[in-house]
Structure 1
Amino acid sequence: MKKIGLGKRVLACVASAATLLTGTTALSAVGMQVQTLTASAASYDNYAKLLQYTMYFYDGNMCGSDVGSASQFTWRDNCHTADEVDGGYHDAGDHVKFGLPAGYTASTLGWGYYEYKDSYDALGQTAHLKALTDRFCDFFKASTKLNGNDVSSLCYQVGKGQEDHDVWCSPESQTDQSLRTAYWTSDDASDIAAEYAAALAANYVNFGNEEDLTYAKALYNYSIRTNKAECPAAGNFYGSYDYYDDQAWAAGWLYLATGDSSYKTFLNTFMNASNAGKSGQSGCQWGVYSPMSWNNVSLGAAILQSEITGSGSDWSKVTTYLNGKCTSESQYYCEASWGSARYNTTMQLAALVTSKYSAQSGKDYSGWCKAQMAMILGNNPKNVNFVVGMDSNSAKYPHHRAASGYSSFDEMKNQTGYSANGHTLVGALVGGPADANFTYTDSVNDYEANEVALDYNAGIVGAAAGLYSIYKTGSIDSTIEGVNGSAVVTTEATQATTASTTRATTTTTKATQATQATTQSSSTSSGGATYSKNLNQAVDYDKLPATDRMIGWSWKDLGVKPSDKVTKVAVNITAKSGEIGKWQGAFGS
Structure 2
Amino acid sequence: MSTLGIARVEASAGYNYADALDKSLLFFEAQRSGKLPSQDQRVKWRSDSGLRDGLAQGVDLVGGYYDAGDHVKFGLPMAFTATMLSWGVIDFRKEIKSLDQMGHSLWAIRWATDYFIKAHPKPNVLWAQVGDGDSDHYCWERAEDMTTSRTAYKLDQNHPGSDLAGETAAALAAASIAFKPYNSSYSSILLSHAKQLFTFADRFRGLYDDSIPNAKNFYTSSGYSDELLWAAAWLYRATNEENYLKYVVDNAVYMGGTGWSVKEFSWDNKYAGVQILLTKILLEGKVGSAYTSTLKQYQAKADYFACAMLQKNGGYNAHLTPGGLLYVREWNNMQYATSAAFLLAVYSDTLDAKNAKLTCPDGQAQPKELLNFAKSQADYILGKNPKSISYLVGYGSKYPIHVHHRGSSIPSVYNYHSMVGCVQGFDSWYRRSEANPNIIYGALVGGPDKNDGFSDDRSNYEQTEPTLSAGGPLLGLFSKLQIAFNGIPSSKYRDTPSSYKPTPTPKPKPTPTTYSQSETTETNQNNNATPIKLVHSITNTWNVGHKTYYRHNVMIKNISKKKITSLKLEIQNLTGSLWGLSLSKEKNIYDFPQWIKVLKPGEQCNFVYVQGGPQAKVTIISYH
CA distance in 2, matches of 1:410, 1:390: 29
The aligned residue for residue 212 of structure 1 is 190
Structure 1 residue identity aligned to 2:350: Y
Q: Does 1:468 align with 2:482?
A: yes
Contact 1:44–1:378 (CA under 8 A) maintained in structure 2: no
Secondary structure, counterpart of 1:432 in structure 2: coil
CA distance in 2, matches of 1:115, 1:388: 26
The aligned residue for residue 41 of structure 2 is 71
The aligned residue for residue 386 of structure 1 is 391
Structure 2 residue identity aligned to 1:304: L
1:482-501 to 2 correspondences below 5 Å: 483=499
Q: Does 1:353 align with 2:350?
A: no
1:546-557 to 2 correspondences below 5 Å: none
CA distance in 1, matches of 2:454, 2:387: 8
The 10-residue stretch of structure 1 (263-272 or 228-237) with the greater mean CA deviation from structure 2:
263-272
1:277-288 to 2 correspondences below 5 Å: 288=261
Give the superposition deviation at 1:465: 1.9
Structure 1 residue identity aligned to 2:499: V
Contact 2:229–2:257 (CA under 8 A) maintained in structure 1: no
Contact 2:447–2:454 (CA under 8 A) maintained in structure 1: yes
The aligned residue for residue 610 of structure 2 is none
C-alpha spacing 1:277/1:388, structure 2 compared with 1 (3 Å): farther
Structure 2 residue identity aligned to 1:60: A
Secondary structure, counterpart of 1:156 in structure 2: strand
The aligned residue for residue 304 of structure 1 is 277
CA distance in 2, matches of 1:63, 1:234: 19
Secondary structure, counterpart of 2:340 in structure 1: helix
C-alpha spacing 1:79/1:398, structure 2 compared with 1 (3 Å): same
The 10-residue stretch of structure 1 (400-409 or 469-478) with the greater mean CA deviation from structure 2:
469-478
TM-score relative to the length of structure 1:
0.69
Give the superposition deviation at 1:261: 0.8
Give the superposition deviation at 1:417: 3.7
The aligned residue for residue 326 of structure 2 is 333
Secondary structure, counterpart of 2:154 in structure 1: strand
Give the superposition deviation at 1:295: 0.5
The 10-residue stretch of structure 1 (69-78 or 82-91) with the greater mean CA deviation from structure 2:
69-78
Q: Does 1:425 align with 2:430?
A: no
Q: Does 1:154 align with 2:126?
A: yes
Structure 2 residue identity aligned to 1:390: Y
Contact 1:86–1:139 (CA under 8 A) maintained in structure 2: yes
CA distance in 2, matches of 1:226, 1:79: 34
Give the superposition deviation at 1:330: 6.0
Contact 1:271–1:302 (CA under 8 A) maintained in structure 2: no
Give the superposition deviation at 1:113: 1.4
Structure 2 residue identity aligned to 1:205: I
Contact 2:262–2:304 (CA under 8 A) maintained in structure 1: no
Which of 318, 323, 329 does residue 302 from structure 2 map onto?
318
Give the superposition deviation at 1:269: 3.3
C-alpha spacing 1:438/1:277, structure 2 compared with 1 (3 Å): farther
Give the superposition deviation at 1:346: 1.2
After superposition, what is the alpha-carbon deviation per residue over 1:400-446, rounded to whole angstroms, capped at 9, x for unaligned? 00011164111245434435xx20100010111111x3100112221
Q: Does 1:434 align with 2:434?
A: no
CA distance in 2, matches of 1:195, 1:238: 14
1:67-466 to 2 correspondences below 5 Å: 70-84=40-54, 85-146=61-122, 151-174=123-146, 176=147, 179-187=149-157, 188-208=160-180, 209-229=187-207, 230=210, 231-273=212-254, 275-276=256-257, 288-310=261-283, 313-327=297-311, 331-358=324-351, 359-360=355-356, 362=358, 363=365, 364=367, 365-405=370-410, 407=420, 408-418=425-435, 422-435=437-450, 437-466=451-480
CA distance in 2, matches of 1:234, 1:67: 30
Give the superposition deviation at 1:355: 0.8
Give the superposition deviation at 1:360: 4.1
Give the superposition deviation at 1:67: 5.3
Secondary structure, counterpart of 1:441 in structure 2: coil
C-alpha spacing 1:268/1:452, structure 2 compared with 1 (3 Å): same
CA distance in 1, matches of 2:455, 2:14: 21
The aligned residue for residue 512 of structure 1 is none
Give the superposition deviation at 1:375: 1.6
Structure 2 residue identity aligned to 1:141: I
The 10-residue stretch of structure 1 (95-104 or 49-58) with the greater mean CA deviation from structure 2:
49-58
Structure 2 residue identity aligned to 1:254: L
Structure 1: state its 5+ residue gaps: 1-41, 279-286, 486-589
The aligned residue for residue 517 of structure 1 is none
Contact 2:257–2:298 (CA under 8 A) maintained in structure 1: no
Q: Does 1:45 align with 2:15?
A: yes
Contact 1:418–1:444 (CA under 8 A) maintained in structure 2: no
The 10-residue stretch of structure 1 (101-110 or 470-479) with the greater mean CA deviation from structure 2:
470-479
Structure 2: state its 5+ residue gaps: 1-11, 55-60, 181-186, 284-294, 312-319, 359-364, 412-419, 502-624
Secondary structure, counterpart of 1:144 in structure 2: coil
Structure 2 residue identity aligned to 1:445: S
The aligned residue for residue 35 of structure 1 is none
C-alpha spacing 1:333/1:290, structure 2 compared with 1 (3 Å): closer
C-alpha spacing 1:361/1:251, structure 2 compared with 1 (3 Å): farther
CA distance in 2, matches of 1:440, 1:154: 39
CA distance in 2, matches of 1:277, 1:245: 11
CA distance in 2, matches of 1:330, 1:400: 27
Q: How many residues align?
A: 427
Secondary structure, counterpart of 1:157 in structure 2: strand
CA distance in 2, matches of 1:60, 1:257: 30
CA distance in 2, matches of 1:326, 1:338: 23
Q: RMSD of the alignment, in Å?
A: 2.3
After superposition, what is the alpha-carbon deviation per residue over 1:181-217, rounded to whole angstroms, capped at 9, x for unaligned? 1112213122111111111111111112110011010
1:561-576 to 2 correspondences below 5 Å: none
The aligned residue for residue 509 of structure 1 is none
The aligned residue for residue 60 of structure 1 is 30
Contact 1:342–1:455 (CA under 8 A) maintained in structure 2: yes
Contact 1:416–1:445 (CA under 8 A) maintained in structure 2: no
Give the superposition deviation at 1:288: 1.3
Contact 1:198–1:254 (CA under 8 A) maintained in structure 2: yes
